[in-house]
Structure 1
Amino acid sequence: MSLVLVADDEPAVLEVLSQVVEDLGHDVLRARDGEEALGLARARHPQLVVTDHMMPRLSGVELCRRMKQEAQLKDVPVILLSAVLPQGAPEAFAFLHKPFEITDFESVIHKSLAASPEPRMAHAASPVGALGQWVAQTLQGPLETAREQLRRLECTPSVDRAALDTLAAQLQSMEAVGRHLRELAWLSSGEATLARIDTDVGQHLRDAVAAHGAHVTLEAPEEPVHAQVDPPRIRQVFDVLLANAVRQGDAEVALEISQTQLTVRVKDVGPGVAAEALAHLFTPFRMDAKGVRGPELYVASELVRLQGGALSVQSRPGEGSTFSLMLPRST
């Protein structure tokens, strides 16, 4: 029995492919897009990945490339499925052009698993990491069922649209919980690595600011500002910092550069943070006056650290907060 990760953004196709793999006697992890598949692969180390090509957030080909750049995933065979690519991609171990026969799919699964590396010995996870893996996996089935029921309700003419929007928002919140917990499990594994390439961090910052609307102002150089980063992960960090800021109201963002370092400062107009709470701001789960806060800032700080940088905060009650992200510039 092997662990197989199946990724497809079409629920019906995902279910059929997963059922075939289960009927062959293997355990299945399901992902609805490439980014979710990459997170699950990092956390669970499957012996085989089956992925569609045309998916949101991260395509199947890009998923193959990202896996090849990570030491713990580079030898995992990937079966790429596509109706638009005629011959697949060199990064994939095997390719099937849609539509295909189930018998052909079963055959390529057997062939791919025969080439798969032996299952890795699991490292002892921290309690938070072990809990994250368990909860994320447990949530997966109910969330898939809830998404399917929501899609069915959306096709009902007499449905209460306000209630439907509320359900959709709650489902997105639960999906975020599962995503954050997978991140925690991956970060606590001791094997978390990023694919760092030379890229214009300023452009990623401008894209993130534009996505958060008129509540954010940006001051940044017009010329490219390069650093060795993992582009999807640095965008994730920007999104966390901006979302945290705009919850307080308007936000000011500034990109500052020196010969050796770039600094992104995100300033909000919120109530600020007391001195005793600052020391715990980047812990996975923390308690404040509004209850238990999630691990978003902890994940962001770890992602910055893995890219050779640091994340800090300055804040006083009544004066808002300023988060500073510092990264070494490309030489």
Structure 2
Amino acid sequence: MSLVLVADDEPAVLEVLSQVVEDLGHDVIQARDGEEAWNLARARRPNLVVTDHMMPRLSGLDLCRKLKGDEVLGRVPIILLSAVLPHGAPEAHAFLHKPFEITDFEALIRNALAEAPRPKPLEGASAVEALGNWVARGFEGPLSTAREQVERLRAEGKSDGGALETLGAQLKTLETLTRDFQEATHLAARTVALSPVEADVGAHLRQRLEEWKQRQPEVRWELDVPGVPVELRFDPERMRRVLDALLGHAGRHGGEVRVELESTPSLVTMRVKDRGPGISDEELQHIFEPFGAGRVGGGLGLYIASELARLHGGGLSVESKRGQGTTLSVMLPRG
């Protein structure tokens, strides 16, 4: 079974195409215009994209070009449908001129999915997970003892307050790195299980932002969310980690950070925008990779956030240019 994204702005045609794909035994996600298709593709990472050409906001041909230019989605096959393009486009894996026979459409789907890239199986996952648990257990005792000693010295008031604050901050960093390392190894081993509930993701986002306002009052935090509840099924604790990674990355440069929540019937998107120095094209290619040298911002936060978004059936994306700030977006499907 594969995941197929079908995009068409005509509801009747969209339903027919989707039914054909489902009858072949595959899961379908639907988009009603090119922009929605692009956002869903980044969030769900389908095995195949079927798109009409003449659509609002973003044409099928432009969608093909954006998909082909994306590092993650560039190898996903695309079937382009059109009544006006005579010969299709080189960006598409296959082309069907409207009107067409359903049997021809079915054959293209089978062929495209047979050639679609599949994720490589993880090697040594259990060993990686065991290493993460071992490191976490090994650090737990010394870090706890060090924290107790810092608190004792602070209570006695006999030591340099500034030095104690610095030491406390460094211990907190070590605790975070240890926790992140353990979480990353569990994610790499594919052993993380979510505990989702149905809740207002807007309220959850407001709560996280209020905590970050207290943590970093020097940052000008702005929030734009709908005035009505945005119901979504998600794991609150894991979503907290996703949002903390995005907010922490955006707030590290100070200045202004804008947080937005956008909702459609099929997709919820949370964007965190900063006005920092931006990220180079080379760094962007590796921003979500674990354990990479010279990671942007350091740590494993963005890798963990990306994997947790994926577990929710969504995805994490980044847009940035040097000198123009960075936008991190987590996209989550509804229903």
Question: Normalization by structure 1: what TM-score?
Answer: 0.59
| Alpha-carbon separation, structure 2, partners of 1:173 and 1:150 | 14
One-letter identity of the residue aligned with 2:139: L
| Alpha-carbon separation, structure 1, partners of 2:222 and 2:151 | 37
Q: Which residue of 1 aligns with 2:289?
A: 283
1:209 aligns to 2:209 (yes or no): yes
Aligned-partner SS, 1:265: strand
The count of corresponding residues between Structure 1 and Structure 2 is: 207
Q: Structure with the greater relative contact order (CA < 8 A, sep ≥ 6): 1 or 2?
A: 2
| 1:148 CA drift (Å) | 2.0
One-letter identity of the residue aligned with 1:145: T
Aligned 1:31-180 pairs, distance under 5 A: 124-125=124-125, 128-180=128-180
Aligned-partner SS, 1:234: helix
Of all paired residues, the percent bearing the same amino acid is 45
One-letter identity of the residue aligned with 2:165: D
| 1:136 CA drift (Å) | 1.7
Per-residue CA deviation, residues 297-323 of structure 1 (Å, 9 max, x unaligned), is: 000111111111110001111111111
| 1:191 CA drift (Å) | 2.0
CA 1:289 to 1:178, structure 2 compared with 1: closer, same or farther past 3 Å?
A: closer
Q: Which residue of 2 aligns with 1:260?
A: 266
Which one of 286, 290, 310 corresponds to residue 315 of structure 2? 310
1:274 aligns to 2:280 (yes or no): yes
Q: Which residue of 2 aligns with 1:11?
A: none
| Alpha-carbon separation, structure 1, partners of 2:273 and 2:163 | 35
Q: Which residue of 1 aligns with 2:331?
A: 326
Q: Which residue of 1 aligns with 2:182?
A: 182
One-letter identity of the residue aligned with 1:262: V
| 1:212 CA drift (Å) | 1.6
- Provide the aligned C-alpha RMSD in A: 2.0
Does the CA contact (< 8 Å) of 1:253 and 1:266 recur in 2? yes
Per-residue CA deviation, residues 217-247 of structure 1 (Å, 9 max, x unaligned), is: 0111010001110011112211110111011
Which consecutive unaligned segments of at least 5 residues does structure 1 have? 1-122
Structure 1 or 2, whichever has the larger Rg, is 2
Does the CA contact (< 8 Å) of 1:265 and 1:325 recur in 2? yes
One-letter identity of the residue aligned with 1:303: L
| 1:128 CA drift (Å) | 5.0
Aligned-partner SS, 1:222: coil
Question: Normalization by structure 2: what TM-score?
Answer: 0.58
Does the CA contact (< 8 Å) of 1:215 and 1:246 recur in 2? no
Aligned-partner SS, 2:195: coil
| Alpha-carbon separation, structure 2, partners of 1:129 and 1:273 | 31
Does the CA contact (< 8 Å) of 1:199 and 1:226 recur in 2? yes
Q: Which residue of 2 aligns with 1:223?
A: 228
Which consecutive unaligned segments of at least 5 residues does structure 2 have? 1-122, 214-218
1:199 aligns to 2:199 (yes or no): yes
CA 1:126 to 1:313, structure 2 compared with 1: closer, same or farther past 3 Å?
A: farther
| 1:127 CA drift (Å) | 6.3
| 1:126 CA drift (Å) | 6.1
| 1:190 CA drift (Å) | 2.2
